[in-house]
A and B are shown apart, each in its own frame.
Chain A
Amino acid sequence: MVRLTDEEKAMRDGAHGPAVAKAMDLLIRYAEALGAEDFVYTNNVAGVPGSSPQWVKDYYKEDGGDYRAVFSRFDLDSDEVVDVPRMNASSCHLQGGMDPEMWREQGMSEDAFANFSSDEAEVASHGIQVLKTCTPYLAGNVPVMGEHCAWMESSAVVFCNSVVGGRTNCEGRESTSAAMLAKRIPNWGFHTDAFRKGQHSIDVQVPVDSIFEWGMLGYFTGGAVEDAIPVIDGALADPSLIKHKHFGAAAASSGGVEMYHMVGITPEARDRQTAFGGNDRGERFVYGPQERAAIYERLNSIGESTDVDYVMLGCPHYSVEQIAEAARLLEGRKVHENTELWIFTSRAVKATAMASGYDRILREAGAKLMTDTCSAISQAVPEGTRVAGFDSAKQTHYLPAMMGIEGWYGTTAECIDAACTGRWQGRLN
């Protein structure tokens, strides 16, 4: 049985209102399902609270079919509908279903947009920050070392645990919505010291320096260790935020990695011994020239035609320096008439890109800088797309399978070239 503090008992028993009581009840059931002994306090919660497609609202028609009904019944898994107050924890909304302005270009209906706008107004009025991104850490929510968080979004979870030393499990829709009200999450998994130690090693024997190389190493790592914690050591160079972002997203999608250590680079891996919490354990995987070539082949096994009609950048959402780089590569050129170039980011980063003149360069070249979503989340690609190019291993993993299209993985420069020529000419040097 999970141990409750007096305050947690009071919350469960309704001292802070019915919504908090329902939230606490769900969190207790969840903690018992995990076998957790108690809760940790959290004041940093990232989820998708209350947002739902129309059919879910229609399902709760007898309860009013509104945000309140969905939040009570679905998010809090409550048997009755309760009034939903402003959230108590510092809370943000992750990625959503469409661009708030270019939704028509994404093929969304008027009705779908009306539902999107209505949900967003509810989110804001419940005190939830509308970050609308898979990269909250680029849009104003940066955890610190040791901070207990309750986050959804696998690429954000792995970033939080590995790169900044924040602590979160891969939470779900219902647990994050409940945590926004109760400011609690089960003390299990990545919240505990012992759970965070390395389980297998990756020995990097080929130089990994660019974002393209970091992405491939991430894809290899997830395939090797599945959902375990890898300790990566060797010829890894030039770490930066965007490289970690691509590495983690790739490892989380090919395997389910929720935390990794890089010796001498990430904060809980000062040395090998610290990363493992003692001597090496588990299996040792080598990433050498052969493995690198095999990963490149695997990522590009779903491409046959080199006639690219869609290039998608921004998975995870682009940072401002990545947008600057895309603008630099595109300046003075035009996107090919048979090709579309969509770049995805958060609203916060887009505002900076606009102030800095990058958005204008992209628009003049015929590219579109979109926010909130991506092609996989919204299942929106330009009409008639058959072959797409990506600089993200994660998007290459998901989108072609979801949409039944071909896909290529390459560098950002190769993607921009493909967008401007309509031809994929990527290769492994």
Chain B
Amino acid sequence: MATTQLDKPDLVIRGRKVVGGVTEGEALVTRQTISGWGGVNPMKGEVIESHHELRGVSFADKVLVFPGAKGSSGWSGVFHMTRLTGTAPRAMLFTITTTKAALGAVVLRVPSMTDFEQDPCEVIETGDWVRVDADKGEIQVWKRGQAK
């Protein structure tokens, strides 16, 4: 998807690098925090927590946009397992820094960012195309349905 260089993004948001790297992909957005152990099935990369708005949805290969991590201290371990099963997200963007989310991002080894100047959970929607340049501390967003 190198074509994105040709088009002007609809949004550019600056933030802080958590884990470096550059990638792009389709966004999966939730305004609810995510539990790791007991909340995610690492075999499928799927949210399983009762009552979660993403219940039954897979984050595999998506740019996962979420407020942060909650629940058991097994968070990083469960997300780490999604790397083994090939169901890891392509990138992670979160707003609340916790030890769970930071360590999870480190062992997933996917480009990850936080501390944004604008809340990505508010302005990015599921299906938008997102380019994450964690090294530069910048994300670019193309709204769904617009030319790429």
Contacts and interface: CB of A to CB of B under 8 A. Distances in A.
A174 interface: yes
A125 to B, nearest CB: 22
Interface string A370-411: 000000100000000000000000000010011000000000
Given A30-B103, A169-B99, A227 B70 contact: yes
A182 to B, nearest CB: 15
Nearest to A157: B73
Contacts of A256: 70-71
Nearest to B69: A256
Most buried by B among A33, A157, A227: A33
Contacts, number: 80
A402 B18 CA distance: 32
Contacts of A26: 106
A30 B106 CA distance: 6
Interface residues of B, number: 29
B112 interface: yes
B76 interface: yes
A29 interface: yes
A33 B105 contact: yes
Contact of A33 (B18, B50, B81): B18
A174 B107 contact: yes
A152 B112 contact: no
Contacts of A15: none
Nearest to A34: B102
Interface in A356-370: none
Interface in A46-67: 48, 56, 59
A152 B103 CA distance: 12
A170 B99 contact: yes
A56 B99 CA distance: 24
A175 B99 contact: yes
Interface string B69-80: 011111111001
B123 interface: no
A219 to B, nearest CB: 15
A169 B72 CA distance: 12
B52 to A, nearest CB: 11
B31 to A, nearest CB: 14
Interface of A: 26, 29-30, 33-35, 48, 56, 59, 74, 77, 152-154, 157, 169-175, 188-189, 226-227, 253, 256, 376, 398, 401-402
